[in-house]
């Protein structure tokens, strides 16, 4: 599988999970801590995608 496909699957699963958590905890004020986590997770996903795209194509020793 290509890294981009894996990133997309992980991003989709993470998005669904975060949306579910925010929906479950909205009454308990989870949105306040949910959104910074969501932004951080998205940043990590894009950083990983960028790193995988920029990674040298030689095998690890």
For residue range 21-57, list pLDDT tens digits in order.
777 766 666 566 667 777 887 788 788 777 777 766 6
Cα dist from 29 to 17, 26, 34, 40, 57, whole Å: 17, 5, 9, 19, 45
- Mind listing the pLDDT tens digit for each residue in 1-22? 577 777 788 888 888 887 787 7
**Local structure of residue 60 (DSSP, 8 states):** P
What pLDDT band is residue 60 in, cutting at 50, 70 and 90? low
Identify the pLDDT of residue 55.
67
Map out the domains of the chain as residue ranges.
3-54
The SS3 call for residue 15 is: helix
């Amino acid at each position: 599988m290509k890294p981009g496909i894996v990133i997309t699957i992980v991003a989709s699963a993470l998005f669904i999970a975060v949306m579910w958590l925010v929906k479950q905890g909205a009454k308990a004020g989870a949105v306040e801590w949910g959104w910074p986590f969501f932004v951080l997770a998205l940043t990590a996903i894009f950083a990983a995608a960028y790193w995988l795209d920029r990674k040298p194509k030689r095998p690890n020793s």
